[in-house]
Amino acid sequence: MSSNMPKIKDIPKFDRPREKFLEKGPDALTDSELLAILLGSGIKGTNVKVLSQKIIKKFGDNLLNVSVADLMKISGIGQAKALQISSALALTGRIFNKQNSLDNLILSAQDAINLVLDLKDKKQEHLICLYLNARNALIKKETISIGTLDKSIIHPREIFAPGLEMHAAGVILIHNHPSGDPKPSEQDKQVAKRIIEAGQLMGVNVIDFLIVAKNGVHSILGDLKNVELTNTEYVAEGSQASLFDLLVDANQLYFYNNSMAKNKKKSDNLRFIDLFAGIGGFHIAFHNAGAECVFVSEWDGPAQKTYRHNLYKISPEMFDSGNFIGDITKIKTKDIPDFDILTAGFPCQPFSQAGFKKGFSETRGTLFFDIVKIIKEKKPKAFFLENVRGLLSHDDGKTFKTIERVITKELGYSFFPQIVRASDFGLPQHRPRLFMVGFKDTSIDFKFPEPIKELKYTLSDIFNGKCDKEIGFTLRVGGRGSKITDRRNWDAYRVNGKIVQLGPKEGLKMQGFPDWYEFPPNFSSVQAMKQLGNSVAVPAIQAVAEEIVKTLKKYGNRK
């Protein structure tokens, strides 16, 4: 072994396992880095990181069953270190077995309630799911939604997507009423019945649906026998005892598997294309609004991987048909499938501080004209463009005026611009962005949706601790962290009196991605944060998407 191998103290602090754990938590560390913390120190000629990598490489997923004798076969591992590792693994095994023992079986409503005893005292509405295996043993307890004083925002996909991933056989839903009254409203019953039907289609049994409150517990299931489903567009319009604020429509259940997609008539859907697609924020938003994605373009390789990893299950036919491409400049416009709505978060750096405000003089700025070329040839019914707020003032407003002139005079479309903040639609970051919407039918009078009054959750909810800010800084591109003293700080916060760095898990929530969304395995934190900084705030996009879809249907979406 080379004597020149750096010691752990010579490795930069940000890359040392202990410091990384304290700064970003265990999810930011590799298996070998976690083991390095456990080992504490290396051996002569081998630092602790290299030693832990050797152990992981040798035993891999079988590490939990490794004996002291097996560990001592590794050069430099003596009995003391072997006992240290083996004892920790034995303790882990015991905890795992205990979690899957008979003591963890959920055999009654009271067993379920015992797991959420604090829920009845919550001041906001929560929806918690208990995912069970075929023996009714708890696999995972997960908070799906945290709402306001009188409503929760949720959709069946947030309930069943985690269950499908962990191969759950059943789920128990538990919801609280801060009013203290556990009696379900008619809206509660409607939503519960639709979710149960969705579970039957998915093969995930809804075992029970409980409401907890200070004045008792109520199971909704017994109230559903005589409930007739209606086509009510919204439920929980603010009445206290109601459950959900979004449409739960049986027609939208095709999200969950391909067989349901085939049962839905494609002609019923508006079709959209997703240009400069990033990691799919527009796709999720328009899919939730009831539109069908038929074409995607994203040039960045890692972003493509994240996009496919998450969204293949939503739009398998689009991927399988070869309509998920890289560089938009390399495809002929005529080869793009027909569509109704063009969406594009076209590159913002040319108009921002990060790109030194070069605008159309910089190559990426000219990509706007690729959008123009597609609109000119395909003539969609509408478009939805997103960019940084700085586009409005770039080059004394000349760049924005050029965009407006091209769209209205050369293409003949209407043009509705507006600055929209992520915090306007419930997210705890400001993130002001310029939204631009237009229609081929210039007689359409489009109105942007009104901001909602309350945050869905605060930074304290995101960090699961008391944060000194309710609304955070805008996520920025780059992926590198900044100190809390940085005047442009974006990812360092004081939580429970300690400085905490924002990570991918918190970033996804700040951007409003659903709970089932994840980065592919082995993606670095820097890469994940870079992708999040380039992404969009999903709830803000979705609110506008729903308004566009509703407007097109109002004016006749097949003109």
Residues 375 and 517 in one domain: no
The C-alpha atoms of residue 39 and residue 83 are separated, in whole angstroms, by 11
Indicate the pLDDT class of residue 399, thresholds 50, 70 and 90.
confident
Residues 241 and 265 in one domain: no
Measured over the CA atoms of residue 324, residue 420, residue 286 and residue 171, the dihedral's sign is positive
Q: For residue range 159-201, list pLDDT tens digits in order.
A: 888 888 888 888 999 988 888 888 888 878 888 888 888 887 7
Mean pLDDT computed over every residue of the chain: 78
Positions marked catalytic: 348
Asked which of 21-35, 179-193, 224-238, 331-345 is least confident by mean pLDDT, the reply is 224-238
Which domain-ending residue is among 99, 116, 146? 99
Of 13, 17, 78, residue with least CA distance to 49: 17
Answer yes or no: are the C-beta atoms of 212 and 121 closer than 8 Å. Answer: no
**CA torsion angle 383 384 389 394 (round to 10):** -20
**What is residue 45's predicted lDDT score, i.e. its pLDDT?**
60
Residues 147 and 176 in one domain: yes
In a domain, 314, yes or no: yes
Secondary structure in 3-state letters for 310-364: HHCCCCHHHHHCCCEECCHHHCCHHHCCCCCEEEECCCCHHHCHHHCCCHHHCHH
Answer yes or no: are the C-beta atoms of 276 and 328 closer than 8 Å. Answer: yes
Residues 348 and 386 in one domain: yes
Of 59-63, 404-408, 485-489, which has the strongest mean pLDDT? 404-408
Which domain-ending residue is among 224, 250, 276? 250
Answer yes or no: are the C-beta atoms of 241 and 186 closer than 8 Å. Answer: no
In the chain, the number of structural domains is 4
At 178, which CATH number?
Answer: 3.40.140.10
Query: Can you tell me the mean pLDDT for 362-388?
Result: 82
In a domain, 497, yes or no: yes
Q: Is residue 345 pLDDT above 80, yes or no? A: yes
Residues 229 and 109 in one domain: yes
Answer yes or no: are the C-beta atoms of 541 and 449 closer than 8 Å. Answer: no
Residue 212 β-bridge partners: 176, 217
**What is residue 356's predicted lDDT score, i.e. its pLDDT?**
37
More reliable by pLDDT, 459 or 240 = 459
Residues 93 and 26 in one domain: yes
Residues 398 and 270 in one domain: yes
498-501 and 126-132: which strand pairing? unpaired
At 428, which CATH number?
Answer: 3.40.50.150
Q: Is residue 418 pLDDT above 70, yes or no? A: yes
> How distant, in Å, are the alpha carbons of 148, 151, 248, 306 from that of 238?
10, 6, 16, 36
Answer yes or no: are the C-beta atoms of 212 and 119 closer than 8 Å. Answer: yes
For residue 186, the tally of other CB atoms under 10 A from its CB is: 15
In a domain, 371, yes or no: yes
Q: What are the two backbone dihedrals, phi and then psi, of residue 119, each rounded to the nearest 5 degrees?
A: -65, -35
Residue 418 β-bridge partners: 435
Query: Can you tell me the mean pLDDT for 138-152?
Result: 73
Of 166, 162, 27, 153, residue with least CA distance to 529: 27
In a domain, 559, yes or no: no
**What is residue 411's predicted lDDT score, i.e. its pLDDT?**
92
Residues 130 and 89 in one domain: no
For residue 269, the tally of other CB atoms under 10 A from its CB is: 20
126-132 and 170-176: which strand pairing? antiparallel
Q: State percent of the chain over pLDDT 90.
A: 26
**What is residue 380's predicted lDDT score, i.e. its pLDDT?**
96
What range defines the domain where residue 507 resides? 459-533
**What is residue 139's predicted lDDT score, i.e. its pLDDT?**
86
Burial 281-311, CB ≥16 within 10 A → b, else e: bbbbbbbbbbbbbbbbbbbbebbbbbbebbb
The C-alpha atoms of residue 126 and residue 40 are separated, in whole angstroms, by 41
Number of Cα atoms under 13 Å in the Cβ half of residue 518: 9
Which residue is it, tokens 């708890």? 138
**What is residue 433's predicted lDDT score, i.e. its pLDDT?**
92
For residue 240, the tally of other CB atoms under 10 A from its CB is: 15
Residues 207 and 149 in one domain: yes
Q: For residue range 20-58, list pLDDT tens digits in order.
A: 777 767 766 677 777 777 777 655 666 777 778 888 777
Indicate the pLDDT class of residue 364, thresholds 50, 70 and 90.
very low
Of 344-353, 358-367, 476-485, 494-503, which has the strongest mean pLDDT? 494-503
In a domain, 46, yes or no: yes
> How distant, in Å, are the alpha carbons of 38, 48, 50, 335 from that of 7?
17, 8, 10, 57
* Cα 114 versus chain centre, distance: 29
The C-alpha atoms of residue 468 and residue 318 are separated, in whole angstroms, by 44
Q: Per the confidence metrics, is the pTM higher than 0.85?
A: no
Burial 511-547, CB ≥16 within 10 A → b, else e: bbbbbbbbbeeebebebbbbbbbbbbbbbbbbbbbbb
Residues 113 and 63 in one domain: no
In a domain, 280, yes or no: yes
Indicate the pLDDT class of residue 386, thresholds 50, 70 and 90.
very high
Residues 6+ positions from 313 with CB-CB distance below 8 Å: 255
* Cα 350 versus chain centre, distance: 27
**What is residue 308's predicted lDDT score, i.e. its pLDDT?**
92
Strands (E), 382-430: 382-388, 416-421
In a domain, 300, yes or no: yes
Q: Is residue 224 pLDDT above 80, yes or no? A: no
Token couple for 48? 């602790």
Residue 272 β-bridge partners: 293, 341
Q: For residue range 421-479, list pLDDT tens digits in order.
A: 999 999 999 889 999 999 999 999 999 999 987 888 889 998 889 988 889 888 876 65
Query: Can you tell me the mean pLDDT for 393-420?
Result: 89
In a domain, 1, yes or no: no
Q: For residue range 501-544, list pLDDT tens digits in order.
A: 888 999 999 999 998 899 988 788 888 888 998 899 999 999 99
More reliable by pLDDT, 20 or 343 = 343
193: exposed, middle or buried (Cβ count in 10 Å: 0-12, 13-18, 19+) = buried
Answer yes or no: are the C-beta atoms of 514 and 17 closer than 8 Å. Answer: no
Which domain-ending residue is among 99, 121, 152? 99
Asked which of 110-114, 181-185, 392-396, 475-479 is least confident by mean pLDDT, the reply is 475-479
Measured over the CA atoms of residue 356, residue 357, residue 360 and residue 361, the dihedral's sign is negative
**What is residue 27's predicted lDDT score, i.e. its pLDDT?**
65
Query: Can you tell me the mean pLDDT for 297-312?
Result: 91
Secondary structure in 3-state letters for 501-555: ECCHHHHHHHCCCCCCCCCCCCCCHHHHHHHHHCCCCHHHHHHHHHHHHHHHHHC
> Rounded to the nearest 5 degrees, what angle is found at the Cα of 314, between the Cα atoms of 308 and 320?
60
Residues 503 and 489 in one domain: yes
**What is residue 244's predicted lDDT score, i.e. its pLDDT?**
35
Residues 110 and 149 in one domain: yes
Number of residues assigned to the chain: 559
**What is residue 179's predicted lDDT score, i.e. its pLDDT?**
86
